[in-house]
Structure formats: C-alpha cells, structure tokens
A and B are shown apart, each in its own frame.
Chain A
Amino acid sequence: MFRIFVLLLFSAGYSREAYAYLDPASGNALASFFIAVFGSAVFFLKTLFYKIFAHSSYKTQSNKNLGVDSNMPVLFSEGEIYWATFRPIVEEFIRRKIHFRYITLDVHDPALAIDNDCMHSKRISKNKLGFTKLAGLEAPVMLSTTPNIGSEGYPMPRPEGVKNLVHVFHALVDVSCYRKGSLDFYDSVLLVGEHEAESIRLVESARGLSAKELIVAGLPCLDDLDRQKEELCKDRLTGGDALTTVLVAPSWGSKGCFTEHGTDFVKTLSRSGYKVIIRLHPHSFIFEPGSVDKWRLETQELDNVSWDDEAQGTIAMSQADILISDASSIRFDFAFLYEKPVLSLEIPRESRSTFESDYMDATWADTMVEEIGVGVTSENLTVIDEIVKDTISSFATEAFSGLRNRYVDNFRYSSVVIVEYLEHQAKLLSLTADQLVSRRSIEQLEGQVDEDRSQLSHLSDHSERQS
C-alpha cells in the first residue's frame, strides 16, 4: 500500500496537470484514499494507545479468533433474506447463554449488528476466497438453510471439517420443491412436521443415498412471521379497507405464475374493482430482473394495483383478504397465520422436472391445494374475479388452525427444539473417540441408575403399599 501511495505521489509530482483527466468519480476516490490512509493511521494509533495505556477488555485484531472455539455449533446464513429463519434460533442461543458461531455471506445481515458475548459472528465474502475459507471450516455441527451445499456446480463446497451438516427449511415446504440433489450432502434435516419424512426417504431410496437423521423440529421462520404479525397487530390495526384486497405472490423462475400465465389476470382483478398487491419472491429481483421490469410496466397503469417491496411480507399479508399464488410456500404462511383462503394457480408438471418432486406422484403441497383454498386452472383464469368473489364468500377457514397444528410441530417454539438439538450434537460430536466411549458408558450407567432408581421407587412404592 505504501508503494502505491509513493507511486501516486510521484505521478502527482511528475505532472500536476495529469489530474486534469480525472473524472468526478475518480476525484472522489482520490479524496477517499487520503481519508482512508489517515483514518487507518488514527485507528492504528488508537489501538496502540489503548493496548499500552488502558486496560482493554478485548484483544486487538491480531487475536481475532480468540473466543471462537471450533467445538461451537455454527449457524450458516446466506444473508438477510433468511434472517426470519435464523432470528428465533439466534435469540434462543443467546437466551440460554450458549456460545455459538454465526457465519453469513451478506454485509446486510441483521445478525452482524448483534454484539453479544455468546454470539461469534463473522461475515465472509461471497466469492471464491470466501467459499475456500468456508470449505476449511471446522465444527461439530452446522445449521444451514441453503440447499445445494456441496452439489456440483454450486460454488460452496461442503466443509469437510463439519461433522453434522443440518438443514432447516426456510418455508413451509418439503424436499419436493428443491432441485434434485439439493440435500444430498446434508447429514440431518430438521422437519417441519412428521409428514415431511416420507418425501425425503423417497428421494433417498430413488437415488440410493444413505439415510439422513430426521428430527421433527417445526419451522422457525413461520414462528418469526407469527411474531412479526403479532408485533404489527400491536403497532396498528390493519385491514378495514373498503375494497377487497387480493395479494398476488408468484414464485420465481419457471415455477412462477407470472412466468406461466402472465399478468393478464391482474388486469381482470383490477377491472373488477379489487385492490391488488403484487409481491414477488425476493429471488425474482436477482435472477429475472428483466421479467420484473416487464411485469411492472404491464401493471403500472392499472387502477388499485400496488407493488410490495418490503423485505418481509407481513404487512402485505395482513392487508390481504385472499392470496393468489402458484406453488409458492407463502400460501401456507398466509393460510396458517392469517387463516384466510388461497387460490393456487396451476403450474404444469413439466416445469418441475428438475425438482425432487419428479420422484413423487403427488406432493404434500399438491394435496393441500383444496384444503387451504381453491385450485385454479389456466382456463379459469379469465374468470378469476368470479372465483375470488366466490372463495371469499363461501370458503370455510375455520379448520386452518387445526391444519397448522397437524402439519407444523412446535409452533412458536421450534427454536427451543432446534437449539437443544444443536447443543447436544455439538457436545456429542466434539468428543474424542475415547471421550465418546466414556460418554456412552456414562450414559449407560445413567440409564442403569435411572432404571435402578425406578426399580427402587417401584420397590419402595410396593413396600409402602405393603406396609
């Protein structure tokens, strides 16, 4: 850096007028450079000062790994959009004062803002270097919601040093809506409910994979959405709009109803006087920006049509009377949390050929269409306004809470189960082989003791009764 600095000074001295050819942006860069050099110098001196003259509770940069233990459980997040999944878990770890590591690829991840002694956060850049660092990660257990880790063509390899790679779903879905091979390198999967086990076993047998450990844990992101909903209700009462509000929330890519059916049905709704909120999947903005622009153009002149760009869909869902979607999991968030009906637009099966659902005759989500609302075929799209009207007026939503309890385990408490599992795994897998043997014997002894105790109590009961 010093050399660059000297070089710059040299070139500056060589001809002052050379800078005449700098454009405004470069000019700023030059100013930034000097600020950076000055700032760094000050920062360095300050660090030095506190190191020498004041007691610093925290070690300086050179000891940055201090406090991080390779036996801690790891949470790995791609970033801000999965914060709903990780927040309940992070909060539970902190509540229990369990030390854990949090690794994210996103500078905007809200987790990074948390400054807590138990939480050891680190941002890793989303490039080759970052993924290389990740590959060398050592941990007994790592929780991730990112499918495809380790898959061919995916930039992130499975870290060899992670003994148990655990997957948690970030939506109310099962493996059927994942691309083929997405979970092949995972060791365990946290299930939303017992019903999800079947599809995973189906995939395992179809491709001859070894069986994963399956733990019924619940769905932390649904818990978080529920919490958001509650907070929103506390802040302000929603609804009360004179117009009936339709939330249109397509999936992204080939599975999306806009991709499949276009935006004409939005026009139909708009003409019929419905208030329409369009909320795209966050991935649409990343992977299909051209289509997004097109859809925006097509709908911008329509009456009562608005776009919802919020990070979380809570506000939009709170306002809606009915949801129109395709195979998106938002349908279950909406039905289970807001207990309002859902119209599922038909997406042809061919479009799903690259997904795990290829092995299944019918997916769980398919079977749920009629339970949470009405399925709409492409022929019926022209009369979507009629269907909306009929569904709102006639569909019975009273059974929704029952459905939720049936399919989502540990509702509002999934993070407790997950943290317990992770903590246990961390302890177990951190043991050396010898420790593991002794641990097993201890467990055996404990079991024996328990058994003896129960026998003892049984005996004492017996004797008490006799006496």
Chain B
Amino acid sequence: MLYDFTLYPLESILETMLVIFIAITGSAFWSIVMLAISVRLLTKPLEKITSAAGRNQTQFEAVLRPQLATIKHEQTGSQRHDAIIRLYQRYSYHPIFTVRSLFGLLVQLPFFIAAYFMLSGFTGMSGVMIPVLGNLGVPDTLLFGRFHLLPFIMTLVNILALVTLESSNRRSLVQGLILSFGFLVLLYESPLGLIVYWTTSNLVSLSSNLTPALAKKVPIKISLPSFKGSGVERFFEEYAYIFFVVNLAILVPLLGVLGGQFNLFTAHGMTGDAIISLLFYVALLPSIVLSLLRRLAKLLGGAKAFDGLVLGVFLGVFLTYLFNKAGYGILTSDYEPAILFMAALLVTTGAVVIILNTGMLRKLSYFSLIIPLVLLHFIFVSPASTLFAGPGGMRTAIPESINDTPVILMVFDEFSGLTIQDAEGDVDVSRYPGFAEIALNADYFPNALTVDYRTDISVPSMVSGTLRSAEKSGLAAGENLIELFQDWGGGVLAQSSVLPADLMYDQQVNLYSLASDTVTLYLHIISHQDWIENKIGVIPPTWKDFGIFYEIDDEDDEVHSEPLYIFDSWLEQLTNNAADKQFNFLHVEFPHAPYTSSATGRVQVNGEVFRRQLFTSETIDAEQPFLNVAYHNYLQQSSYADLLLKRLIRELKETGLYDKSLIIVTADHGVSYNVSGLNRRIPLTKDSWKNIVSVPLMVKYPFQETGSVDVSFVTTLDIAPTIMDVAAVDSPWELAGESLKTLGAKSQTNSVELIPGFEDYFDDALALFEEGRSIKALLFGVGSPVSKVAVNYTENPIYSALLNTDVSVSSVEEFSDLHAIWGGSLRPSEMTQFGKIYVGSEPTDGKVIAAVVNKKIQAVFVSGIVEGESGKFAFSLPEAEANPVEFAATLYEVEVGEEVTLKRIEIVNIGQLSFETKEFIEYDWKNSVASTNGLDSLEVGDELISVLASTSDDPFVVMQPISVQPISTPIILIELVSNKELLLQLFYQTVDERFFDGARSKISTIYEGSNTVYFEIPETEFSGDFRIDLGFGGFTDVDIIDIEVRY
C-alpha cells in the first residue's frame, strides 16, 4: 500500500522515461545515460531548495566553530557548557540542526531507490550487448577478462566529483572518500547497467562542479528568452490548470484502467494511430473548450467563479474516483456509495476553497506537465504499449527461411472441448459434423487445454507461443506468429478483437459505439463498483457495444451479426486471395454469450431477466435448472459454430487450399454451466474447471489423409511451435510449448503445467472430463442433432423417459392446484421461455413441470430461485418444435408415485390469480400525472392517457402517489395499447426510500397491440410517486387505458 503511493509512481515515471529513450535512441545504453542525466536535471530544482538548507548549515558552522573553539579553550566544566548554551541561544541554533544538510538526501533518496529497483527489474537490460563494454545485464569482465573495470571507473568519477565540489572541506572529503570506496565494494558485482547509471549520475555532478570554473574562463553569455515574467508564463499559469484538472478527472482514471485492460481498443478495431488520435482529442478538446469559456468568463468578470466551478467539477470527479477506489468494500454497507460520495464532496469543497483563496491555482498549472507523462506512460510502458507499432529496438530478427505451407488457424471463443464430445469422448458426429469432417484427416486432441480462461490472455499467448499474463498482457511485441509471417513476407490475414488492430485486416471503427462504450466505461471507472453495476450492469468481456448510449436496433433480425460478419468477411478474404496469404488467422467471438443463434442459425434472443442474470453479471444468481437452460442455449449456438467450421472446410476444399494447408481449429477457452454462483468462465471449482480448461483442438497437417486421436494432454501454447515446425522455421524467440507433430508417445506437453488450476484439479482431469460428458448426455441425450434435442433439465434419469412422450388428452384430465404465469410471453423468437409457478398466490419451488408442445413432452424442468425470487422456471425447446410461429405450450405438473402422473397447470395471468382477491383502491389515474421526461407529448383524454415519444431520451411518466398512507404489497394493473414491442419498467418508492432506483422496479415486456400487465410490488410500505418507463429507442406511441391498484 505504502509502496503503491510512494515508490511505485516514481518507478513508473523513471521506467516511462527509460522506455521512451529506448524508443528514441534504439539503444539501452544511451537510454540509461539519458535517464541518469534527466533525473539529475529534473531534480535540480529540488536540489536547489535542499542545498539552500545545507548552505545555511555551513554558514552556521563557519560562524560558530571559531567561537566554540575559543570557549573550549578559555573555559571548562559547567561554565564552558553554559557559555555554549548561551552562544547557541544567541544564534537560535541547536546541534540537531546539522541534519539540515540531510534534506537533500531525503528528497533524492526516493529517486535513487526508485531508479535502483526500476533498473534491477527492467528486463530490457539483460542480454543487451554494448560494444566494448559487454552485456548490460551482468558485470563487465574488462579487467584481465575476469575482473570488473567499470566499478573502478565509477569510483574514479565519484572521487573527482568529490574533489571538485565547491564547498568541499577536509572533513567532507574524507567522508566522501570512505563512501566512495564503500560503494565500490557494494556495487562491484552489480550489472553493467546500474554502474552506467551511477557513473553518469556522478559525471553530472562532476560537470556541474566544473561548470562555474569553466564559465569564468570562457566568458560566453547565452541569453535565452526568459519564461519567468513573460506573457507566456502568465497565460500558462492562468489556463494550464484547466488542462491538469480536466485530465486528472478524465484521462488519468481512464488510462489507469485501459493501460492494463485495453480490449476496448482492440474490440473496436482501433489501430495505434487511431488510439493516439483519440487520446489527444480526449486530452485536449475539453481543456481547449473550457479555456475558451474561461476567457469569456474573464471578459464578463466571472473568472474566479468559473475557476471554482471547473475545480469543483473536475477535482470532484477525480476525488470521487479516488474515494470509490480506495474506500470500496471498507464499509460493506448499502450506504457506502453515498458515504464515499459525500466524503469526496466534502474534501472537494475544502480543496476548492483552499486552492482559490491561497492562489494555489497558478501553482496547480505546473502540475499539468504530469499529464503528458501519463500519456507517454500509457503509450510506451503500460501493458497497452503492445498496441502501438513496436517500441523500437525490441523486434526480434527475421528468420532465415520459412517454407510456403499455408497456415490456417481458426480460434473459436468460449467453446469447451467437452462440448463436441459424445459420452465416450469421441467427436459427437451428429451434433458437430464440421469437427467430425476435419477429424477424418486430422489429429484430434480430446484432452487439449487452454492456458488461460481470459480471452485477452489466452489468444495473445496462443499467437505469441509464450504465456502472457495480466501484467504482460497483449501480444508479445515482435515475438508472435503474425509479425513473424509479416516480416518474412509470407502475407498475413489476421482478425481478432483482442489483438492490436494494426496487425488485423479489419480496422473499421464504429465511432458512435466507441464513444458510447468509452463513456460507459469511464462512468464505471469513476463510480462505486456495486452502485454502477446495479445501475448499468458490468462491462461484458467482449468490451464492445455495451455502452448505455448505444442501442442495438430491435428491428434488426441480425442481432448476432457482429461475430458472424467477421467470420464471413474473413472467409471471403481468405478464399478470394487464396494464394496470397500464408498465415490466415481468425479468432471469432463465437459461440460466446450472449446466445442469439439457434443450432441452425435462426436468430433467437433471451428474455431480459435471463440475459442479465446469466451473461452480464460476474456471478450467476440462479439455481441449477436455470443454468441448464443456459447450457442448452450455448449448445445450440456452439452447434451453429460447427456449421461455420463446415463452411470453412467447404470453401477451403473448393479453393484447393484444404489439402496443402496446415489447418488448426481450436478455442481460446471453454465455458461452464455446471455450478451456480460463479462466473461461467472462471475455473474456481472442480465442477466448472473441466469445462473451462478443455478446448477443442484439431490439427490437420498438409496432405494428411487419415485422422487420428491423440489423448495426450496438450495446450494452446503448443500451437505456435507446431506451426513453426510445419513451416520449417527456427523460432527466433523462446517458445513455451512444443510441436504436436513430433509429440511421439508423450502423455503430456510441458506447457500443461501452466494451465489454470493445474495443481488443484489436473490429477483428476480424466475423471472430471468423463463426468462432464455424462452430465451433458443426461441433460440433452445423445445421437440427435442439437436442433432436435429434447431436453431434460432436471438431471434426473426418471424424467428422461418422459421426453417425447405422447400426452393424450384423456390421461390428463386432472388439474393441478398449481398456477403458472409466463414471465413475459411464450414466443417462438425467444430462446428461453420462463415464468413462475404458484400455489394459490404463493410462488413455489421444487415443482417438476413438463412442457408439452404438439402433444409431446418436450422439456422437463423444476421451479426454483432466480435473483432471490422463488417459483421461477425456465426451459428452452427443441428447435423443431419452437420453429412454427404458431405453437402453444401447455404445462403439466409431474408427480412420480407408483406411476408417473401429469396434472395440467392452469396458465393464468397474475390478475386472475390474485388481483381479484385483493381490495380495490380509488385512484384517479387520469389526473395524476406528476411529471414526464423525454416525451414529445402527453395528452389526457376522457378514457386514456396518450403518450408519444420519438427520441431515445429515457421516456417516462411519473404518477402521483396512490394514497397518503403506505400500502402493503399492492398489485398495479396497467392496461395499454402499444405501437410496438417494448420493455415497460415500473419504478416505485417506499416510506424509507423516497427516490427511484433500479432495485425497486419491475419490468414487463409489452407487445404490439393491447396489453394488460400486473406489477406485484413486494414492499410492505409502498408509498409516494411511481414511474412508468417506456423503454428506449425509436418511435413510441402508447395509450394507457387503465391503471388500477389493489392491495
């Protein structure tokens, strides 16, 4: 913690400078020299201040020493002591003041230590050979080939600097000499780079000691235009603070995150140049606009008020950000966001008052010089630096030769290797015919594993052939397959949303989406994490199109078009220029969630609640039956992914590339729906580990005729060595994996030890894989295509027998005492159907339900808890059954006694269920509109309220309280006619919480035409205004026909 706020920033600054110097000079040696000089020059002002304290001390010593000598000579004992005390009193001196000469050290010490640690940890130094001197990372051996010469030169320089020190006296000379030799001993075994740094630093001392003497001899006067007192200074001091505070609030938090997690840029296809342009706009535009406004405010005489406003807003934002980050989780209370915000507000107010009243504003302007450094750190040093065309001097040599084998590497995203396997572990031919086809003449690795469960680490690792990490994320600059083939001249066709866009062929940026996503991300960064996630959800791992201002057009049938568009476009490029590119690489975010495609590619969507719970949250808050539904969704989409693979194979065969190419098909990581409570991608438990670390892996060598299965444990890190092996190239850098071509009888490759959870679960891997396959078989059966799969979500074999059973009307005359309501509506375009099961008016869990379509049981499932709500059920249907637009599902309660009995469940709407039984409350709804937002018009007619909205400006209507007294658990009925489908959200308040919040809202889907919706308010003290939100986007024309309240 202390390190984070003290030495770490300094180390970062020094490292930034070093990397920039390396980029400029291309030489690590000269960069260290320049760093040492720069540090000395930059700390010069500090040295000046501290040396003044030192000089002060020297003065005292010069004046006091002779007097002390006299006293000591003339007096003894207590008289002497008294005389000395009197002397000190007259001069207001104390012997402890000697430490004043230490101030210089206190200021410099952090720089020295930071430079030391930075250089020690700087990997760019080892192995760099300097002519004559040798390797920067190890001590030199210039003295008789064995001993180190440079430390002696360093000591010599040190002594020269000492001797030439102006204020040098005999005592300090002796002290200095002892220290110099001490350093010689300490540093004798140090790497050359450290010695170079320190020698240079001392050379600076030496030259600054000699400068006054030289200047006297060479009377050259250089008169530089003075900054001090000039108009430039005045302008700078007046306006530069804006640049500082604005970027402190915007750029610093943004780059703090994007420096480490830069998928936002890659996902939007931004090249290095585009990113830099964006950063410059972000850094400069707001400041320029505000500066102009300040100029205007000054003309109008309101400069100080303007300064206060700018400071208040931006310093406030920055402090809110700081408090939210530093204080997160400390209070663990619901009020934490509010408390942190208030604290930030308080500190901001104090700071603004102090700054404005002490004239510190002008001094603040000088801090603006930090901002360019932040930018440079991002571009050159942060992990994101890999996005920018190579920091010079780091590129590895081009290999001597590469043969002309075309390479095709296809990487799916979030696709478990176990998914394509049948119960025995072979390729599931009926469900994954594409994989089966390539397996006919490829090596299939059923036990292939990923080395990381995060896409932005896994994919770069695969392409680099080395394990990347959160700290060293992104592609290894200059050391990856893409640049290897590019530099060789073999031609590259590469596409991935997590790799630098400079290396990808598709560099199109959707500015609107980018702006919306960036703003949303920024809001996330500065806000309290829980609060903002509750408000607008988490940042999805795709890092794209999540922005709150960006809307996916509901009218567009091609919801899942993004990854598929990328696949189509890549495939087109590949086949059109079949002979051109040697290395063809595609990482496509498919069958990655959200699930929008059926097994046959038909567009499907999930209900809002379902989507939010399973795919946009870090944790899954639903019971297993719900996860099984998600599993089925995934299964369908992965089946469609197989169709894509089939297309690829077909196209390759048609263009003649198939035979002669090395084709590798795999995925970045798997996915698990085997356990609730955790993210579907984080392998923290045995249950989820198996499905997440397993990836499909097919390797088809050029002209391979027969397929084989290799059960060795291998990883995605073994792909790069395999490609290099086939292309007959010696890797210019060290690879973590090994070629699969020459695996022989090895049961596992070396890189297997690098996989996540290796220590904990790998020993049981085979058993766990077996278990994973059997669960899948249990849930979805075997042998029929996924599109026709009948599902059994209960995981209980007894119920499996029920699937596809004919349900004759006569056998199920009896009605269950359960009721069901659809949580939305049962529609073929929805992937998942869900609702709630009641006994009377109480939701009930653990009820086994069968869904019957066309008189056949198509799904069996259990009601349970989702998001804390009981009675929820969900199921998804075999595509064959869900396909017809007109279909009707009936639900049956399943009871297993001596024989299985089915009781028909009445599907009701909640009105019939409980509305009627409640008491009516008088509410003059037509005359109760309190306020509106984002509407074109609101007309109150005799029988209705007519609402028109044409913008996406959050249209809503706030209604006045229903009653002065709080109402317990009311049901609000709203009847309306809508021009389109939309999500109606009802916000309400309670006695204690008199504001609107997402946590106190109910959502219902509204369809085109007449709708009757019932909102059950689960509060005992419902009170105050309530708000009806009419969704987002497009033209909305809603007539509210009735609002009725009962309790």
Q: Which residues of A contact B (CB under 8 A)?
A: 1, 4, 11, 15-33, 35-37, 39-40, 43, 46-47, 50, 54-58, 60-61, 64, 107-108, 112-113, 115, 121-125, 297
Nearest A residue to B88 via CB reads A61
Evaluate contact between A297 and B219: CB separation under 8 angstroms.
yes
Q: Which residues of B contact A (CB under 8 A)?
A: 51, 54, 59-60, 63, 67, 77-79, 81-83, 85-99, 101-106, 108-109, 111-113, 115-117, 158, 161-162, 165, 172, 175-176, 179-180, 182-183, 186-187, 190, 194, 197-198, 201-202, 205, 219
Q: Given A36-B99, A108-B59, A112-B90, A21 and B197 touching (CB < 8 A)?
A: yes
A22 to B93, CA, bound (A): 28
A64 to B116, CA, bound (A): 46
Taking CB atoms, residues of chain A closer than 8 Å to B96 are 1, 36-37, 39-40
The smallest C-beta distance from A458 to any residue of chain B, in angstroms, reads 54
Among candidates B51, B86, B94, B161, residue contacting A58 with C-beta atoms closer than 8 Å: B86
A20 to B198, CA, bound (A): 7
Q: Given A24-B176, A27-B176, A40 and B109 touching (CB < 8 A)?
A: no
Evaluate contact between B59 and A15: CB separation under 8 angstroms.
no
Taking CB atoms, residues of chain A closer than 8 Å to B67 are 113
For this complex, 27 residue pairs linking A to B, each with C-beta atoms less than 8 Å apart, are A11-B109, A15-B113, A20-B112, A20-B183, A20-B186, A20-B198, A21-B197, A21-B198, A22-B112, A23-B202, A24-B161, A24-B162, A24-B180, A26-B104, A32-B102, A39-B96, A40-B95, A47-B85, A57-B78, A58-B82, A61-B85, A107-B63, A108-B63, A112-B91, A122-B89, A123-B93, A125-B92
Evaluate contact between A123 and B81: CB separation under 8 angstroms.
no
The smallest C-beta distance from B995 to any residue of chain A, in angstroms, reads 47
Taking CB atoms, residues of chain B closer than 8 Å to A24 are 158, 161-162, 165, 176, 179-180, 202, 205
Taking CB atoms, residues of chain B closer than 8 Å to A125 are 92
Evaluate contact between B116 and A54: CB separation under 8 angstroms.
no
Taking CB atoms, residues of chain A closer than 8 Å to B172 are 28
Nearest B residue to A114 via CB reads B90
Taking CB atoms, residues of chain B closer than 8 Å to A20 are 112, 116, 183, 186-187, 190, 194, 198
Taking CB atoms, residues of chain B closer than 8 Å to A115 are 83, 86-87, 90
Nearest A residue to B176 via CB reads A24
A100 to B351, CA, bound (A): 47
Central interface residue in A16, A21, A108, A112, by most chain B CB within 10 Å: A21
Taking CB atoms, residues of chain A closer than 8 Å to B162 are 24
Q: Given A19-B186, A36-B98, A37-B99, A50 and B112 touching (CB < 8 A)?
A: no
The smallest C-beta distance from B8 to any residue of chain A, in angstroms, reads 15
Evaluate contact between B161 and A23: CB separation under 8 angstroms.
yes
Taking CB atoms, residues of chain B closer than 8 Å to A61 are 85, 88-89, 94
A123 to B92, CA, bound (A): 6
The smallest C-beta distance from A23 to any residue of chain B, in angstroms, reads 5
Taking CB atoms, residues of chain B closer than 8 Å to A112 are 63, 90-91
Q: Given A21-B201, A24-B162, A108-B63, A31 and B187 touching (CB < 8 A)?
A: no
Evaluate contact between A22 and B179: CB separation under 8 angstroms.
yes
The smallest C-beta distance from B115 to any residue of chain A, in angstroms, reads 6
A112 to B88, CA, bound (A): 10
A64 to B219, CA, bound (A): 51
Evaluate contact between B112 and A18: CB separation under 8 angstroms.
yes
A19 to B205, CA, bound (A): 16
Taking CB atoms, residues of chain A closer than 8 Å to B117 are 15
The smallest C-beta distance from A440 to any residue of chain B, in angstroms, reads 38
Taking CB atoms, residues of chain A closer than 8 Å to B201 are 21, 23
Central interface residue in B77, B81, B93, B219, by most chain A CB within 10 Å: B81
Nearest B residue to A42 via CB reads B95
Q: Given A20-B198, A107-B63, A28 and B94 touching (CB < 8 A)?
A: no
The smallest C-beta distance from B358 to any residue of chain A, in angstroms, reads 14
A57 to B84, CA, bound (A): 12
Q: Given A27-B179, A54-B78, A21 and B85 touching (CB < 8 A)?
A: no
A56 to B77, CA, bound (A): 10
Central interface residue in B78, B113, B165, by most chain A CB within 10 Å: B78
Taking CB atoms, residues of chain A closer than 8 Å to B98 are 32-33, 35-36, 39-40
Nearest B residue to A36 via CB reads B98
Taking CB atoms, residues of chain A closer than 8 Å to B77 are 54
Query: Across chains A and B, which 10 residue pairs bring their CB atoms closest together, nearest first?
Result: A36-B98, A21-B112, A27-B179, A58-B82, A40-B96, A31-B175, A29-B105, A24-B162, A121-B90, A54-B78
Nearest B residue to A130 via CB reads B92
Taking CB atoms, residues of chain A closer than 8 Å to B202 are 23-24
Evaluate contact between B101 and A29: CB separation under 8 angstroms.
yes
A40 to B98, CA, bound (A): 9
Evaluate contact between A40 and B94: CB separation under 8 angstroms.
yes
Among candidates A21, A36, A56, residue contacting B97 with C-beta atoms closer than 8 Å: A36
Nearest A residue to B154 via CB reads A20
Taking CB atoms, residues of chain B closer than 8 Å to A29 are 54, 101-105
Taking CB atoms, residues of chain B closer than 8 Å to A33 are 98-99, 101-102, 105
A1 to B175, CA, bound (A): 23
The smallest C-beta distance from B23 to any residue of chain A, in angstroms, reads 24
Taking CB atoms, residues of chain B closer than 8 Å to A60 are 85
Taking CB atoms, residues of chain A closer than 8 Å to B60 are 107
Among candidates B115, B190, B205, residue contacting A25 with C-beta atoms closer than 8 Å: B205
Taking CB atoms, residues of chain A closer than 8 Å to B186 are 16-17, 19-20
Taking CB atoms, residues of chain B closer than 8 Å to A30 are 102, 105, 179
Taking CB atoms, residues of chain A closer than 8 Å to B187 are 17, 20
The smallest C-beta distance from A35 to any residue of chain B, in angstroms, reads 6
A213 to B409, CA, bound (A): 102
The smallest C-beta distance from A12 to any residue of chain B, in angstroms, reads 10
Taking CB atoms, residues of chain B closer than 8 Å to A25 are 51, 54, 104, 165, 205
A31 to B105, CA, bound (A): 11
A36 to B90, CA, bound (A): 20
In addition to A17-B187, A29-B101, 20 A-B residue pairs with Cβ atoms within 8 Å of each other are A17-B116, A17-B190, A17-B194, A19-B186, A20-B186, A20-B198, A22-B108, A23-B201, A24-B158, A24-B165, A27-B175, A40-B94, A40-B95, A47-B81, A50-B81, A61-B85, A61-B94, A107-B91, A108-B59, A115-B86
The smallest C-beta distance from B158 to any residue of chain A, in angstroms, reads 6
Taking CB atoms, residues of chain A closer than 8 Å to B176 are 24, 27-28
Evaluate contact between B91 and A123: CB separation under 8 angstroms.
yes
The smallest C-beta distance from B917 to any residue of chain A, in angstroms, reads 73
Taking CB atoms, residues of chain B closer than 8 Å to A31 are 175, 179
The smallest C-beta distance from A2 to any residue of chain B, in angstroms, reads 12
The smallest C-beta distance from B781 to any residue of chain A, in angstroms, reads 64
The smallest C-beta distance from A220 to any residue of chain B, in angstroms, reads 22
Central interface residue in B54, B86, B103, B198, by most chain A CB within 10 Å: B86
Taking CB atoms, residues of chain B closer than 8 Å to A23 are 108, 161, 201-202, 205
Taking CB atoms, residues of chain B closer than 8 Å to A21 are 111-113, 115-116, 197-198, 201
A28 to B173, CA, bound (A): 8
Central interface residue in B77, B87, B92, B111, by most chain A CB within 10 Å: B92
Nearest A residue to B151 via CB reads A20
Central interface residue in B91, B161, B187, B190, by most chain A CB within 10 Å: B91
Among candidates A15, A17, A18, A28, residue contacting B175 with C-beta atoms closer than 8 Å: A28
Nearest A residue to B96 via CB reads A40
The smallest C-beta distance from B223 to any residue of chain A, in angstroms, reads 11
A115 to B60, CA, bound (A): 17
The smallest C-beta distance from A28 to any residue of chain B, in angstroms, reads 5
Evaluate contact between B99 and A32: CB separation under 8 angstroms.
yes
Taking CB atoms, residues of chain B closer than 8 Å to A17 are 116, 186-187, 190, 194
A30 to B105, CA, bound (A): 7
Q: Given A19-B183, A21-B113, A64 and B78 touching (CB < 8 A)?
A: no
Central interface residue in B79, B90, B103, by most chain A CB within 10 Å: B90
The smallest C-beta distance from B32 to any residue of chain A, in angstroms, reads 12
The smallest C-beta distance from A126 to any residue of chain B, in angstroms, reads 10
A39 to B201, CA, bound (A): 32
Central interface residue in A27, A55, A56, A125, by most chain B CB within 10 Å: A27
